[in-house]
Amino acid sequence: MVNAATDAKSTISPLAWALLILLGLLWGGSFFFARVAVQHVPPLTLALSRFVIAAVALHVYLRGRDGFYDTLRRRAGAFLLLGLLNNAIPHSFIFIGQTHIGAGLASILNATTPVWTVLIAHGLTKDEKLTPRKFAGVVLGLLGAVLLFSPHLGAGADAPLWALALPLLAAVSYGFAAIFSKRFRGVDPTAIAAGQLTASTLIMAPVALIVDQPWSLALPPPGALAAMLALALVSTAFAYILFFRIIGLAGATNASLVTLLVPPSAILLGIVFLGERLEIIEWAGMAVIATGLVVLDGRLALLMRRRLLHN
C-alpha cells in the first residue's frame, strides 16, 4: 500500500489505463490463486511461501542498488512493523477466511480497506480528518459490508461469520499500514515492497513452522504448486513492480483506482474457473461498497462540479 497524498497528476494515459486494468487482474488473481492453493496448503504456510518467493524475486530485481541493504538495516524496526500490518496479519487472515469463502466474496470484503483507512486516519492524524464527503463514503462502505454479512446470519448460512470477519479485519490492518507507511516517504517504493516482504518472511517463518509443521505435510498437487508460484511471483512481486510503474505514469491517487478493479477480477476468475456464485444481496453489497469508494475518491464529484460550472 502506498500513500497517495503527494499525487499531482489529474489524467491517465491509455498506457496507464491498460497497466491499471492488468494490475486489477493480477491482484484479483491473488484471491483466485489463494483459493486454489489453500485447499491443499495450510494458510500460514501459504502466506510464508508467498512472502519468501516474492521477497527473493524482488531482491534479485533490485540487486542491492540505490543503497537498498543500507536502508533495510537502518529501518529494520519500521520494516518489521510494516510487514506485520501490511502482509503477515492481513494475508494470513484472508487465507484462513478463504478456507470457507470464495475468492470473489473475500475480495469484496477486502475492498473496504479505504473505508477503514479514512476512519483510522481521522483518529490518528491531525491533517486527515473526516469531511462530509468522506463521512458519506464511509457510511456507504460500512453499509455494503453489512449487506455482505446479512446472508450469513441465519442458522442455515453456508459460511461461518468468522470466515467473513477475517478479510474485513485484514482490511483494517491494511488501513493501519497505510497510515504507518507515511514514515517511508522518500524511500524507493520497490525497496519498501522488498523490505516489508523480507520482514514478513522473518515474522511468519517461526509461526508457520510451529503451527503447521510444513515438513510433515504431503506435497501439494501440481495445480496447487502452480497457484502458489503465481501468487508469489505474478500477483505479488511482479504486481508490486507494475503498481509502482503506474504511480510513475499516473500518480499514486490514480493508481489507487485499482481498488475498484480487484473485486470484479476476482469474481470473474472465481465464476469461470471455480464455479463460484454470488447471491443478489452480495452483488448489491459490492455495488454499495464501490459507490462508497467512488465518493471517498472524490474525483467524480469534482468532475461533475466542473462541468456544471462550465455549463
Question: Does residue 54 lie in a domain region?
Answer: yes
**pLDDT tens, residue by residue, 41-59:** 999 999 999 999 999 999 9
60 grid coordinates: 534479485
Residue 249 has pLDDT above 50, yes or no: yes
Question: Does residue 258 lie in a domain region?
Answer: yes
The predicted structure's pLDDT at residue 158: 78
Q: What is the mean pLDDT of residues 82-105?
A: 97
Question: Does residue 81 lie in a domain region?
Answer: yes
The predicted structure's pLDDT at residue 81: 98
Q: How many domains does the chain have?
A: 1
Question: Does residue 306 lie in a domain region?
Answer: no
Characterize 281-290 residue by residue with b for buried, 16 or more Cβ atoms within 10 angstroms of its Cβ, and e for exposed.
Answer: ebebbbebbb
301 grid coordinates: 464529484
Residue 3 has pLDDT above 80, yes or no: no
The backbone torsions φ and ψ at residue 234, rounded to the nearest 5 degrees and listed phi first, read -90, -50
Radius of gyration of the chain (CA): 19
Question: Does residue 303 lie in a domain region?
Answer: no
The predicted structure's pLDDT at residue 6: 41
Question: Does residue 246 lie in a domain region?
Answer: yes
Question: Does residue 21 lie in a domain region?
Answer: yes
Residue that the C-alpha cell 473485486 belongs to: 263
75 grid coordinates: 529501518
Task: Fill in the DSSP letter of residue 64.
Answer: T
CA distance 189 to 191: 5
**pLDDT tens, residue by residue, 178-225:** 999 989 988 998 999 999 999 999 999 999 999 999 999 999 999 999
CA distance 161 to 172: 17
Distance of CA 128 to the CA centre of its chain: 21
Residue 263 has pLDDT above 80, yes or no: yes
Question: Does residue 153 lie in a domain region?
Answer: no
Distance of CA 64 to the CA centre of its chain: 26
Mean pLDDT taken over the chain: 91
Whole domain around residue 165: which residue ranges? 14-123+159-274
Distance of CA 291 to the CA centre of its chain: 18
CA distance 271 to 42: 23
- Residue 200 in contact with residue 84, Cβ under 8 Å? yes
Characterize 198-214 residue by residue with b for buried, 16 or more Cβ atoms within 10 angstroms of its Cβ, and e for exposed.
Answer: bbbbebbeeebeeebee
- Residue 277 in contact with residue 126, Cβ under 8 Å? no
